[in-house]
Amino acid sequence: MAVLPHLLVGAALKAPHHVQVAIAEVIPPPGPGPGAATVVGEVVRVFRGPLPVGAPVRVAVHALREEESPPPSGILWKRWPDLVGARVIELWGDDGDDGRLHVAGSQSVLLDGPSDDPRHPLDEAQARPPRQTPRERLDRAGLDLGGLFALALIAVAIVGGFGVALAALLR
C-alpha cells in the first residue's frame, strides 16, 4: 500500500534531525530479503537538530539487494549498489530505540559529497494534502457519478415504494 507523499513529508518535518552523514561503512540488512541496513558514519553537516558536526552515528536505512523487489509498503527503498556507492547520505531522522537514527518518512537522498545547503529541503507546503476537486474525492472513494445515480434511484424507489405501501395500509 502506498503512503501519500504529503504524509511522508509531514513525518520528516516532525523529526528532530536533518543532517548529512559521511558514510564509512554500510552493513547489510540481517537475514534474507529487504530490511534496514545500517549506515555507519560521521555527521558532516547539520541543518537542524542537536547532533554536532563530527558526531559518530549509525543510521537505519531501508535497503533492497539487487535481486529484490520492494514489498508492498509506504517505504521508499534504497537500492544496495546505490547505498554502498554513496559517500554521503542526507536525511531527516528520528532517534531510534536501538541506538540508530531512523530515516523519518523515507526522506533521504544519497550524495557524492557533502554540500553547504540541503539537497533534500522540505517545507510545510509539501506536508499539506493536495487540494482535490469533488470529482477527485468521489474517484478516491471508489464512487463514480453513474454509481451515485444508481444509488439515488434505488433510494427513491425504496422510499417511494414504502410511501405507497403505507398509504394503502392507512386506507
Digit-coded pLDDT (tens) for 80-136: 999 999 999 999 888 988 989 988 777 788 999 999 988 766 655 555 666 767 776
Q: How far apart are CA 19 and CA 146, in angstroms?
A: 51
Could you tell me the residue ranges of all domains in the chain?
5-127, 134-170
Whose CA is closest to 75, among 90, 60, 88?
A: 60
> At the topology level of CATH, where does 5-127 sit?
OB fold (Dihydrolipoamide Acetyltransferase, E2P) (2.40.50)
Whose CA is closest to 91, among 73, 76, 74, 71?
A: 76
pTM of the model: 0.69
Q: How far apart are CA 163 and CA 167, in angstroms?
A: 6
- Phi and psi torsions of 150, nearest 5°: -60, -45
